[in-house]
Structure 1
Amino acid sequence: MLNCPPWRLLLLLLWWGPLLRRAKTGSVGETAGELYQRWERYRRECQETLEALDPPAGLACNASFDMYVCWDYAAPNDTARVSCPWYLPWHRHVAAGFVLRQCGSDGQWGPWRDHSQCENPEKNGVFQDQRLILERLQVMYTVGYSLSLATLLLALLILSFLRRLRCTRNYIHINLFTSFMLRATAILTRDRLLPPLGPYPGGQAPVPWNLALAACRTAQIVTQYCVGANYTWLLVEGVYLHSLLVLVGGSEGGHFRCYLLLGWGAPALFVIPWVIVRYLYENTQCWERNDVKAIWWIIRTPILMTILINFLIFIRILGILVSKLRTRQMRCPDYRLRLARSTLTLVPLLGVHEVVFAPVTEEQARGALRFTKLGFEIFLSSFQGFIVSVLYCFINKEVQSEIRRCWHRCRLRHSLGEERRQPLERASGILPSGSGPCRGGPDCALSLGTLPGPGDEASRVLESYC
């Protein structure tokens, strides 16, 4: 059953629309108090009515008050309907309407309640505008995640199958790309599972509601894990890059297992407690709403910490980059150009854009600020995978060089035959297996330019990322 305290119902009613015209006293506080008194009287009358009812002999959904309307016993596989509650300030406009709810075949109420006929008609225009904005945002992030999925899959195949690109840095990129793909797949799948839990024409769902509810909650849990894993792999990218810059001369691959454990294991440390607490204290609908904010902060807090840590790493890397560029005594236009290029390159890799609205909580975001925050975060989050795959694979000179080598090698094999392949490869200067550019040469650069000192390890690291 749906469960929420009276004060939350009051807040929901205040959100649904202009509840009351200003009272003659002009006091909004008195108006809200009158509304609560009517709701309390409705609740008491409902309890008295339920106590007087005789339970049916067979299987039936129980009679109860779900904090919104009073429900009588209902037969299995039936759609119960109750008149709109009279305590609503706009009841005279919706007196002919009904609240609908599905009673399942097992004698349990469905998770959704259709009260669309009881909504404030004066607020319908505003609701329609907000719904249109949300639908457009959904289309935008569906396109973004779909595009990211396609490009990330191609980038993943390139980095995985080209042997000369195999190094710790690209292994971390591969895991980051995988986390982006899992996040996109989980979100798109969850969106497909949410609609079947809503009201259906004729009141009968195509699948049992309990199965649909279980599938939807499972998708919600998987989505939270994939989103958490995506943030932790962004953190791994930052930690790895920072360790190379600070601990110059250390082994790049020595801590890769630790990075794997952090990237894929850390999200379970906060997703599992969230699932347990959510099941015990807020086990409502598909878990897509976060009415109890304390439970939501179990997931939100670690994510905000990863954003903050990556932002600090980003500032530190920029400081190192500035010092390296200054030592070259470069001209001002060149200096600013290279600094801007490196900054823009690192922003999507470390997820620095998340800092913009990170201090703004969902409770604070209202009106235009809410939709601005949603639009900004949804656009960048959905297209971030596409941007990262382009920057760190498709326009990476190391990757382009290796693809050209493979293409020339295939053309040589095709035109000259298998028997002459080996001598021609040596004559054409193709690198032997195992001596690829990922072993630390200047080919790992992303065309930022030559930073100081051919033996400067920090410069090489910055070049390979920026």
Structure 2
Amino acid sequence: MDDQERIEREGLACELVNNSTEPPAGVFCPGTFDTWACWPHTRAGETASAPCPAFVPGFSPELFAHKECMANGSWWLHPDTGRPWSNYTTCVKPEDDMTSIIAVFEAGYSISLVALLLSLGILFYFRSLRCARITVHMNLFASFALNNALWLAWYGFVVASADTVAANPAWCRALNATLQYALLTNYTWMLCEGVYLHTVLVSAFVSERRLLRALLAVGWLLPLPSAIVNAWRRTAAGDEICWADEGAPPLELAVIVCVAVLLNLAFLCNIVRVLCTKLRAGGGAGPSRPSATALHALRATCLLAPLLGLQYLLTPFRPQRTASWYLLYEYSAALTTSLQGLCVAILYCFCNGEVLAQLRRRWRVLTFRPRANSTTNTTVSVHCLGRLQFVRSAAPGAGEEKV
């Protein structure tokens, strides 16, 4: 059952209950349904209470929300929106507060965003580094940076404001739709990284220009239909709370994510297989050769795993809040997800040999200052030696040894 069906069903039930209930004597606020909870007729100057909705992420249904009836018989209006407001801030248990986990997400996304922007600046500055491989890396960095910036905006403007979630304005729904698109581009560009590495390694005679054009289209355009379908479905269903939910991801989003991660897993297995085959074919048979091959394969796996997003295989299913390892899962997911951008920036930019060589070369150019005195002395000496040779050659008996 979608939100629109729930609102219609609960709205009719609330209306029936209030119509069958005798209102209090005197001035009172009429019973109403605010799409989350049903509020009864309430005497002026009193505060009504209702069970917290169970479908809202983070709310505990055993707690109660509140709604204040003013002395003139109208529900209290929020000063920012000018609309009747219900207090749902009491629906979160202190031990269920996700503030610390959100803080981990915000810190990780902020650090990753700075690293990604710095990496993009370095790669844009040194044009000599431009090639198909670096271009794919730059697009992946841009996708991560866009996703991280949107998540920070989501936490700062939506999650931190209960009024915004309750009001469900159009801009927060648009932000959610854009965020879903950016999140999908992360997976498609990780898939592009896997396709590029696998193609270059397995197919030596491939046009990198054509391959790069195809990857640009896949990375940025493939997620667009899924994001549009998801936004259209939520709009048609009348979903509220800024389209934020903790349920299973919809099919139109989950398909791309699952396909990208599983394909990258297959690519990684074949890349490691080809790498081990080439290492064995390189000669040097001996007792230490198998262990060296295994070490190279392990190193390649560790380096490629964050680039291909394979760490998401460790956290495919989210446990219930009542599970004993729920908080461990949340903190692990927060760290691995938010710091992935930092990890790929370090591995494929800050620790890249070509990038480091360009930075060292640029540093030597900026810090090299020739000594003026040494240059002047050298110039003067050269001129003096030339003049002396000219004088000797012009003098009578030049070249004759004198006793």
Q: Please give the range of the TM-score, normalised by the shorter of the 2 chains.
A: 0.7 to 0.9
Question: In structure 2, what residue type is equivalent to 1:150?
Answer: V
Q: 1:113: Cα distance to partner? A: 4.1
After superposition, the Cα gap between the structure-2 partners of 1:261 and 1:113, relative to the gap in structure 1 and judged at 3 Å, is farther
Aligned CA distance change for structure 1 residues 253 and 136 (closer, same or farther; 3 Å): same
Q: Is the 8 A contact 1:274 1:298 kept in 2?
A: yes
1:82 corresponds to 2:48: yes
Q: Give CA-to-partner distance per residue, 1:74-116, whole Å, 9 cap, x none.
A: 9xxxx99523469x9xxxx989x83468657999956x74245
| 1:343 paired residue among 296, 301, 310 | 301
Unaligned residue ranges in structure 2 (runs of 5+): 55-61, 69-74, 376-403
Name the residue aligned to 1:217: 173
Could you report, residue by residue, the CA deviation over 1:6-60 in whole angstroms, capped at 9, with x for unpaired residues? 9x99xxxxxxxxxxxxxxxxxxxxxxxxxxxxxx9987432434999xxx9xxx9
Q: Secondary structure at the match of 1:315?
A: helix
For 2:87, the equivalent position in structure 1 comes to 114
1:274 aligns with 2:247: no
Q: Distance in 2 between matches of 1:279 and 1:188?
A: 24
Give 3-state SS (helix, strand or coil) of 1:415's partner: coil
Distance 1:296 1:368, change over 3 A: farther
Residue 339 of structure 2 corresponds to residue 383 of structure 1: yes
Aligned-pair CA distance for 1:306: 1.0
C-alpha distance in 2 between matches for 1:80 and 1:311: 60
Which of 302, 307, 312 is 2:266 aligned to?
312
Deviation, 1:285, is 1.7
Give the whole-Å Cα distance in 2 for the aligned partners of 1:80 and 1:312. 63
Change (3 A) 1:41 1:339: closer
> Taking structure 1 as reference, are residues 193 and 241 closer, same or farther at Cα in structure 2, changes over 3 Å only?
same
Q: How does 1:163-312 map to 2 (within 5 A)?
A: 163-195=127-159, 197-199=161-163, 213-290=169-246, 293=248, 296-312=250-266
Q: Which residue of 1 aligns with 2:118?
A: 154
Q: Is contact 2:185-2:220 (8 Å) kept?
A: yes
Query: Counterparts of 1:15-34 in structure 2 under 5 Å?
Result: none
Q: Using the TM superposition, give the Cα deviation of residue 184 of structure 1 relative to its aligned residue in structure 2, in angstroms.
A: 0.7
2:17 to 45, 61, 71: 45
Once superposed, what is the RMSD of the aligned Cα atoms?
4.1
Answer whether contact 1:197 1:213 (CA < 8 A) is retained.
Answer: no
TM-score w.r.t. structure 2 length?
0.73
SS of structure 2 residue aligned to 1:283: coil
| Alignment TM-score, normalising by the size of structure 1 | 0.64
Partner of 1:98: 66
* Letter of the structure 1 residue corresponding to residue 49 of structure 2: S
CA deviation after TM superposition for structure 1 residue 387, in Å: 0.7
Report the Cα distance in structure 1 between the residues aligned to 2:184 and 2:46, rounded to whole angstroms.
Answer: 40
Say whether the 8 Å CA contact 2:194–2:308 is kept in structure 1. yes
SS at match of 1:368: coil
Relative distance call for 1:144 and 1:366 in structure 2 (3 A) is same
| Percent pairwise identity | 26
Give the secondary-structure state (helix, strand or coil) at the position aligned to 1:367.
Answer: coil
Give the counterpart letter for 1:351 in structure 2: G
1:71 to partner: Cα distance: 5.3
- Counterparts of 1:364 and 1:297, CA distance in 2: 21
Distance 2:280 2:30 in 1: 74
Q: Which has the larger radius of gyration?
A: 2
Q: Which has the higher mean CA deviation after the structures are superposed, 165-174 or 140-149?
A: 140-149
